[in-house]
Each structure stands twice: as C-alpha cells, then as structure tokens.
Amino acid sequence: MDCNGQSTCVDKSESHNSGSLYCCCKNDLCNKNFYWQPTLAPTTIVNVKKTNAFSSRNIEKLRCLIFTLSLSVLIVLKIIFLTRKPKRILYDEVPSLKQSSESALNLEFPSNLVPCSLSTEEKFLSLQLIEIKARGRFGAVWKALNKNKSEILAVKVFPLKEKQSWLTEQEIYKLPQMNHDNILQFIAAEKHVVDQNVEYWLITAFHELGSLHDFLKLHTLSLEQLSYITYTTAKGVMHLHEEIQPEKLQYYKPVIAHRDLKSNNIILKSDLTACIADFGLAVIFYPFKSYGDIYAQVGTRRYMAPEVLDGAINFTTESFLRIDMYAFGLVLWELVSRCLFNQESVQDYKLPFEEEVGLNPSIEKLKELVVHKKGRPVINNAWKQHPGLSLFCDTIADLWDSDAEARLSACCVAERISSHSRTLSLKIHSIQHSLSSTVHFSTNAV
C-alpha cells in the first residue's frame, strides 16, 4: 500500500547504516532515479496515513467503474443476441480463398468471387439418389435426380473421414475462371446428416458415358475420336496448369497440379468431349509460397511418375506439373490401345502395366520396373508404322520420359494433336452426332 500513489522512488528511512536503500513506487519507469529523503517520524506517520486513505478511495472508485462497464457490456451483448435473426444453415461453408491465399498473392478477391455458400436456387436442390455409377478412393458417385427441375445430376458422396478431400475439391472448383468446357461442371456442395451418420456431398453435372476408363472397356475408337478425346483432355490439363493473370472482369487463377490424373478421373460428355474431374489430391500453387511440406507420394500407384516412386521430387511447381504429364502419357497409351485402324482387331482393354505387374501392384514392384528397369507399357510396331498413329506414339514416349524436364507440356500436346489432325483432315472439333453411328463396340465386350 505504501507504493500506491508514489510517482517517484524515495527512501524516507531515518538512516541507511546498513549500506542499502529501499523505496517503491507505482508508475512506468518511476524507479529510474531514486532518492533518500529522511523525514521526522510524526510527519512520516501522518503522510503514510494520508497516502493510504487516498489510495483506498482510488481503488474503490476503480472497482466501481470496472463493475459498471462490465455490466453495460453484458447488457449490450444480450440485447444484440436477442434481436439478431437466426441464420438458416443448409450447407457447410467452405473457408474463403481470401483467407487462405490473399496473403500469398497480395491480391484482393471480391466477396462475390468465391462464394462460401450456395445461391438461392442451388440451396433448394431436392436430390433423390438413384444408383451408384462408380466407386473411388474417396467415396461413391451416384446418379441423382433433382426433383425441382427434373434434371439428372452426379453426386459424389464422401464419408466423414474424407471431409478434407471434400473441402479440397470445393476449393479447386471455386477458384476464379474454373468454369471451363474441359473441367467437370461444379454445381453445389452439401453436408448430410442421416441417422447420426455424417456425409459430405459434392454435386456436379452428370454425363451418361461416365469415365474414360469405363468407356474404353466397352468401346473402341476411330482415329478421329482418338484425336478429339486426346485434344480435349490436353485442353483440360492445360487449363489446370495455366496461370491466368487478372484482367477486366476476370480474376487471377493460380496454377493447379492434379496429382491423380488417370482414365478414371476423365469424364466423357455425350459428344466425347473430355473433362477433368476429381480434385481431392490437387494442389494450388500461389506465387512466392514454399511447398516443401507437401506429401509427395500420393495418387494411383500405376500412374505414379518415376520420381514419385523413387521419392526424388523437386518441390517446385514445374516438377508437379511434369508428374501430371507422365500420367497423361499413360492415359494416351490407353486411348491408342483401343483405336481401331485399318479394320484390324484391337486388343482387349488393359490398364497401364497390367500385363507387366498385374492389377494390384505394390510400390516396390512398380519402382523396380519403372525406375530401375525404365520399363513402360508396350507400344506395338503396328501403331508406330501407321501414319495416323505414329505421332501419338512419339507423343506418348515424350510424355513418359524418365527425365522429367524432357516431358511435353499440355499446351504442346494440344498443339501437336491439332496440327496433326489438320494434316490428316480430321475434324476434331465437329464430333457432335450420335454415338450410335460413330462408336464401335468391341467384339469381345460383355
């Protein structure tokens, strides 16, 4: 109590024979200088009493003030809470990209650019799941009916443990300038709780032909169809890999690496236009941001690039894009293997490396084959000798090169196919007629 109200540090003891001084005070830096000022005992007693009385009154006033302010704040908060309209939450909100990326880009994203909730029309989707069309690592894809519009949609259902994949896919789809012909159209996202079981739904456009993988199992391709599917797939990958600077009403789109490119994740529209889907493992690359903490050995094993299998990835944007292009080379091999040319028979559909290591290869087997032996799926001599397929064979070899830096970009692949098609007078932009007149069914399809 002696220190309260003291602005300077003064020792008022009558003597300091002990060789030390003692004083105390209560202000910032009040003890920077200290003094010895002996006083008479009666005066000291009187001063101490006055100081104590003055300090006690101040403390009491301070307590009253704090209590009054606290009570006022509580009353105001209660009024706000009682008068606030409750928010009807129908859908989970995904963190805005402004929070995750604005600091890295130093760009300003308008609030309406990346919606955290769905539009009024989308919020009242009334979906009825009809049948499962596919199953994957992260969940099942259903064919569903939107009863409000009598339209068919696709619903990808994620279990609770795969919530992060659900969030990642939304983040990719909601990036600026992702509405593209060769990217699967995103419609909405929803959290479902049924009988205490939590599911996360990702709602997209539905395409009856399904994945490229399922299509190739039952169909063969003409050279024109091969060119068109390859070209539109390359356009989709090119759009993902491209960094688009903001201009006019368009906003910045960063580079995206898919990291799980395969025939299962390429969807075919009714006119055989390819669109890229499944972004659960995708990574967004923002400028001036380090990505050394990314877990690199992800994806589907048989489509993993040699550097991924070997654990020797350079953590740069270009390195991850070249990993996608290696997988694109394997997808292109699948396409060429099902191309019907010169009316010759076509081999049964097989996955890349299925003949070499079977259907469920281990990382060790693939590493031995792909990294150490530099093995690749067989490119038949008949393909190389055919004037329409030879360029595809060269492109495949360039895409799955062991030297990542030697691989082609998606832009280069698209340009090659476009130029090659013009040379062969193939109309890769005009495949709009019914599949019944253009698609060849495999003679050995079940």
Instruction: Give residue 118's Cα distance to chain centre.
Output: 18
pLDDT of res. 127: 86
Q: Which of 261, 322, 257, 308 is nearest to 284 (CA)?
A: 257
pLDDT of res. 248: 67
SS3 141: strand
- Is residue 48 scored above 60 in pLDDT? no
Name residue, tokens 């609030």. 111
Q: Mean of the per-residue pLDDT values for the chain?
A: 80
pLDDT of res. 207: 96
Q: Ramachandran region of residue 439, left (φ > 0), alpha (ψ -120 to 50) or beta?
A: beta
Higher pLDDT, 206 or 89: 206
Cα–Cα distance, 263 to 276 (Å, whole number):
10
SS3 391: helix
- Is residue 191 scored above 50 in pLDDT? yes
pLDDT of res. 378: 95
| Domain ranges (residues) in the chain | 9-68, 123-205, 212-441
pLDDT digits (tens, 9 = 90+) for 396-424: 999 999 999 999 999 999 999 999 888 88
- Is residue 119 scored above 70 in pLDDT? no
Cα–Cα distance, 118 to 166 (Å, whole number):
15
Q: What is the CATH topology of the domain spanning 212-441? A: Transferase(Phosphotransferase); domain 1 (1.10.510)
SS3 363: helix
Name residue 398's amino acid. Answer: D
SS3 440: strand
Compute φ and ψ for 151, nearest 5 degrees. -120, 155
Task: Please state the length of the chain.
Answer: 446
pLDDT band at 224 (very low <50, low <70, confident <90, very high): very high
Pair 134, 211: CB distance under 8 Å = yes
pLDDT of res. 298: 84
Active-site annotation holder among 260, 278, 324, 401: 260
**Average pLDDT value for residue range 57-61:** 75
pLDDT of res. 397: 97
Query: Does 260 participate in catalysis according to the annotation?
Result: yes
Pair 227, 420: CB distance under 8 Å = yes
Pair 363, 353: CB distance under 8 Å = no
Asked if CATH classification 3.30.200.20 holds for the domain at 123-205, the reply, yes or no, is: yes
Residues above pLDDT 90, as percent of the chain: 50
Stated as kind and residue range, the H or E segment containing 57 is helix 41-83
CB burial of residue 392 (10 Å; 0-12, 13-18, 19+): buried
pLDDT digits (tens, 9 = 90+) for 324-342: 999 999 999 999 999 987 6
Pair 204, 427: CB distance under 8 Å = no
Q: Name the CA radius of gyration of the chain, rounded.
A: 35
Name residue 142's amino acid. Answer: W
Angle between helices 410-423 and 317-337 (to 10 degrees): 30
Q: What is the pTM of this model?
A: 0.69
pLDDT band at 46 (very low <50, low <70, confident <90, very high): very low
pLDDT digits (tens, 9 = 90+) for 339-382: 987 666 788 899 999 999 999 999 999 999 999 999 999 999 99
The CA distances from residue 331 to 172, 254, 299, 340, in Å, are 22, 25, 14, 17
